[in-house]
Amino acid sequence: MANSKQLPVGTVAAEPEPINLDWSVTALVIIDMQRDFMEPGGFGETLGNDVSQLARAVKPIASVLAAARDLGILVVHTREGHLPDLSDAPPAKIERGAPSLRIGDPGPMGRILIRGEAGHDIIPELYPLDSEVIIDKPGKGAFYATELGDILQKYGIENLLVCGVTTEVCVNTTVREANDRGYRCVVLADGCASYFPEFHEMGLKMIKAQGGIFGWVSDSAAVLQAMTPETSNILAAGASR
């Protein structure tokens, strides 16, 4: 079941080169914009991180999300987290390090990184519509132990616009999984963030290096321009595909 609407093709300015995206077969994938990563008292902060580093990604994602909704492209939100009985959380993940609270412990937003708790929810600014896909994932990659691959196949998706947190962990892992499955991934630089700015930079460099070994890197302004029918060029010279 491909997108029932015939949508235009847009040329996205990106590195290492521009890319033409047929919006009918493109999905916006927003990774883990959850309170547990974004707000004080959640999983991210228990690991000793400065969660304020991630706020910069919210506005760029919100603008692309609004445009994607207007255009009618498939929107997928992911959430990292575990079942209340922790049966899907490997001991190796729970036990490592010396966090102030471990996965499953009670915190100010409910149990840390547990499905159904307030901290596991997506931040209000990017809250999913009922019609949008939500993928609950136990790992860092959105394909591991989830139905994401089946859903993308059902909709005939070939390209992913990827954003969210954190750049070098769940965004990078998902892009690598998607690349191996044959998807063209375009990562929004300003729609991603890390607790470590240097990891953000390197995480993006790793994706676009070597002729785009894992995918393309663009930004919200370029994607918004390519989503606007009046300004998007169909199959512009120099763009791949």
170 sits near ligand C5J (criterion: CB under 6 A): yes
When asked if residue 37 is in the footprint of ligand C5J (CB under 6 A), the reply is yes
Q: What distance in Å separates the CA atoms of residue 59 and residue 237, rounded to the nearest whole number?
A: 31
Residue 148 · residue 178 · CB < 8 Å = no
Say how far apart CA 111 and CA 119 lie, in whole Å.
8
Q: Should residue 165 be labelled a site residue for ligand C5J when binding is judged by CB under 6 A?
A: yes
Q: Does 216 bind ligand C5J (CB under 6 A)?
A: no
Using the contact rule CB under 6 A, the part of the chain among 90-98, 99-107, 142-150, 163-171 near ligand C5J is 163-171
- Which residues are CB-contacts of 180 (< 8 A; sequence separation ≥ 6)? none
CB of 61 to ligand C5J, least distance (A): 14
Least separation in angstroms between CB 131 and ligand C5J: 24
170 labelled catalytic: yes
- Number of residues near ligand C5J (by CB under 6 A): 8
Using the rule CB under 6 A, is 166 a contact of ligand C5J?
A: yes
- Tell me whether residue 32 is one of the annotated catalytic residues: yes
Give the dihedral of Cα atoms 150, 152, 158, 160; nearest 10 deg.
-130
In the set 170, 190, 208, 219, the catalytic residue is: 170
Q: Is 140 a catalytic residue?
A: no
Q: At its nearest, how many Å lie between ligand C5J and the CB of residue 235? A: 35
Segment near ligand C5J (CB under 6 A), from 2-10, 165-173, 178-186, 228-236? 165-173
**169 part of the interface to ligand C5J, by CB under 6 A:** yes
Q: Is 30 among the residues that bind ligand C5J (CB under 6 A)? A: no
Window 64 to 103, contacts with ligand C5J (CB under 6 A):
80
Residues 123-142 that bind ligand C5J (CB under 6 A): 140
Query: Which amino acids are annotated catalytic?
Result: 32, 137, 170
